[in-house]
Structure 1
Amino acid sequence: MLAIFQKAFAHPLEELRSPTAVDESRAPKRPEEIMKGFHSLHPDNSFSANFGGGAALASCSDARPASFHHRRLFCSFDEIYCMYVGVLDNLSSLIRDYGLCKSTNDAQLVIEAYRTFRDRGPYPADQVVKDLAGTFAFVLYDNKAGTIFAALSSDGGVPLFWGLAADGSVVISDEVLVIKGSCGKSYAPFPPGCMFIVKGVEELRASNEQDKGDAAGRQ
């Protein structure tokens, strides 16, 4: 999966910016080049969507290695889009808690949990992730509210990386080769057990689910 959020929308994460001189052979690319490169890596079964608010999402069905058994899902509902990799151990119980149909998958559950946090507040965002038991990574984009919500489970069992494009856009992907080829040296692993939330054009928090009171310090 690949998510790109423009600088004015997501605000650049300065901790990801490499302090060393730019190596021209590994210079960060522009968002359109990154998206084109993703499709060239997966020419037969990748797809993407661009949004007027400064967001772009892309996914494919075969990016994971054969030994990686976690599910890869892309779902949408009411202009909320979720790219998800992993498996929820408590999916059945969460389906009952939220009153959803038995066929609900992991990504659909994440969307419903987010909608609950968004619409029935006060409902803290970290509670959404705290209720999820398993190994997972997801990037959710709410096109109506202009909200970004990304998270990685505390076990770090799913690879997830983020970095900066040439224009300062935030790039998130579970494919390290995509990130390395797109962001030069301005990238890092996404911290296990952390969330990154941006509401509209204002970042709200990047915090560790294990310590709700501490901000992750990424602005």
Structure 2
Amino acid sequence: MLAVFEKAIGKPPEELKLPKMGLENMKSRQEIAEIFRSLWPESTVYNLPNGNFMAMSHENESPLQPRSNMVKDDIFCIFHGILVNTPDLRRHYGLSRQATEAMIVVEAYKVLRDRAPYPPDQIIKDLEGKFAFIIFDATSGRLFLARDREGRVELEWGMASDGSLVCSNDPNLIREACGKSCAPFPPGFRNAMTGCIFMNGSGLLSFDHPLHRVRAIVREDDNGDICGVIFQVDLYTRLPSIPRTGSAANWAVWADAAVAESEQRS
């Protein structure tokens, strides 16, 4: 799967552009789209406004990590992996037995957006299994990424030549698109069971430890030059407590507050 969004929407972490080596290899959004289509000509591609797009192919798909896609009410979703608690989630959201994982996470997103006064970690942490997914709400311009706690499904993100956010489950593709300006999307911290989510305008958060920062850690080569970046949940630094009560103030407000408090402490 692949998703590419202009900087105004994707707002990738600034740390992704720290590595200086290989910047000349970064591709534009148009070039990245052409590379994907050439590799998987039978793929499903969602062409979105302003040159943004999402794409998915079933080629070389593993039965243990299937891929599914869903478009509903201008919400676009591509899902890679499997949820082991799908029967419970279908009942919880009132979905049919035929509902795919992509349908389930779209419904969970709609609950976060519209119906529940809960912060996003309260619902996303109920997803059990090995997965990575990308959701784009075309109506609000909201981008939402998530990966399972152990990182058992590949998901990497990076920066294109124009600063656009690039996300893919194919490490080779994202390195061709972004050069050194890419990193694994964080599944957790050492042996800790933590999963992460990213929301444009709100940043990177751990849905298992929402009151702990997710830090960027740089890797240097023998010459002291930054050659890569990884993101990890810092279990030793706790953010100020955020009240979990309130009316139907939407979930984005809660997430923005978490990031604001994090930045004040840094």
Q: TM-score, normalised by structure 1?
A: 0.90
Q: 1:146 to 1:56 in 2, by over 3 A?
A: same
1:1-219 matches, within 5 Å, as 1-22=1-22, 24=24, 27-43=25-41, 45-52=42-49, 55-64=52-61, 69-192=64-187, 193-198=195-200, 203-217=201-215
The one-letter code matched in structure 1 to 2:28 is R
- Equivalent residues of 1:151, 1:195 under 8 A apart: yes
- Equivalent residues of 1:16, 1:186 under 8 A apart: yes
The one-letter code matched in structure 2 to 1:8 is A
* RMSD of aligned alpha carbons: 1.7
Query: Which structure has the larger Rg?
Result: 2
Q: Which residue of 1 aligns with 2:224?
A: none
Aligned length: 210
**What secondary structure does 2:205 align onto?**
coil
**What secondary structure does 2:212 align onto?**
coil
5+ residue gaps in structure 1? none
Superposed structure 1 runs of 4+ greater than 6 Å apart: none
Moved more, 8-17 or 51-60: 51-60
Moved more, 207-216 or 74-83: 207-216
Deviations 1:149-178 (A, max 9, x none): 100000111011000000000000001111
Q: Distance in 2 between matches of 1:157 and 1:149?
A: 19
Deviations 1:60-111 (A, max 9, x none): 11154x5x62110011111111100111111001111111111111110000
Larger RCO, structures 1/2 (Cα 8 Å, 6+ apart): 1
Q: Distance in 2 between matches of 1:49 and 1:102?
A: 26
Q: Distance in 2 between matches of 1:54 and 1:37?
A: 15
Q: TM-score, normalised by structure 2?
A: 0.75
Structure 1 residue 127: deviation in Å? 2.0
Structure 1 residue 33: deviation in Å? 0.2
- Equivalent residues of 1:117, 1:123 under 8 A apart: yes
5+ residue gaps in structure 2? 188-194, 217-258, 260-266
- Equivalent residues of 1:205, 1:215 under 8 A apart: no
Structure 1 residue 180: deviation in Å? 0.8
Q: Distance in 1 between matches of 2:150 and 2:49?
A: 35
The one-letter code matched in structure 2 to 1:10 is G
Q: Distance in 2 between matches of 1:104 and 1:53?
A: 31
Q: 1:160 to 1:21 in 2, by over 3 A?
A: closer
- Equivalent residues of 1:42, 1:63 under 8 A apart: no
- Equivalent residues of 1:39, 1:47 under 8 A apart: no
Q: Distance in 2 between matches of 1:21 and 1:156?
A: 26
The percent identity for this pair of structures is 40
Structure 1 residue 217: deviation in Å? 4.7
